[in-house]
Amino acid sequence: MSGDGSVSLAYSPCPNDTFVFHAWTAGLLPDAPRPDVTIADIDVTNRLAAEGGLDVLKISYAALPHVLDEYALLPCGGALGHGCGPLLLTRDTCEPAALAGKTVAIPTERSTAYLLFRLWAEQALPGHEVRTVVMPFHAIMPAVRDGEVDAGLVIHEARFTFHEFGLHRLVDLGEAWEARSGLPIPLGAIVARRALGAERIAAVTEAVQASVRHAWADPEASRAYVQQYAQEMKPEVQEQHIGLYVNAYTEDLGPKGFEAVRELLGRAAEFGAVPRFDPAALTRGA
């Protein structure tokens, strides 16, 4: 927190984030702390959280165990839900077993998408190695289409646009997770630096929840802001994106949401994809 009482806040340019945070960042919440905003892709905010320099950030749940000592998980503002998981895409139709020994493009290893892929591969391809290569989000579908990689792990609006690249859905990793666990899919988390203290973290939590409610009550208010950061995305895709990733769990994770986070990260810790952590830290504030 800066000397003027503002808080540094970082989130992605994705429509769900700009929709959720618009009211707060536009000064429409008079009682909220003043935010000093940084817009950056999730891999950048993950790194910023690891460096510990900002107060409040949107990060991947896969990055959360790495920063739990310094950051508290807020019960709101993030992306967690049903039917919103990452997809594994191929250029040609095939069976999952065909990926054994092949190369899969992924956006980053510190992402929920990668954790869900690892969990799926443990069951679908036992004893087989699948090579992965990290690529920028926007490069993955063209790389699959052009045969540079055998499959691609995609997230967000790619759920709605992969047909435009002539690609096929090999597996919906979110569906696989939900079928196995019966729980929603944890994707993106909002965290606050524990050093802010309990009172300031409570004020931030209230601001995020109020911003979500304002966005729902007046969705037109944020339209230009959302479009400003999603210029290459068709308006109808923006709306689909928001409708899928902004839901009741965004306002309040609730018991089911926290259970999903504990289950996913606990399983990931078992095979070494994330550090082991104290589950109580997920619900412990400053």
pLDDT tens digits, one per residue of 153-206: 988 777 778 888 999 999 999 999 999 999 999 999 999 999 999 999 999 999
- Please tell me which residue in 66, 156, 214, 241 is annotated as part of the active site: 156
End-to-end CA distance of the chain: 14
Cα(106)–Cα(198) distance, rounded to whole angstroms?
A: 37
Model pLDDT, residue 53? 82
**What angle in degrees, to the nearest 10, is found between the helix axes of 15-25 and 198-217?**
110
Is 156 assigned a catalytic role?
yes
Q: Are 154 and 86 in contact (CB under 8 A)?
A: yes
Cα(115)–Cα(134) distance, rounded to whole angstroms?
A: 14
- Residue 11: pLDDT band with limits 50, 70, 90: very high
Q: Does 17 score more than 90 pLDDT? A: yes
- Residue 4: pLDDT band with limits 50, 70, 90: low
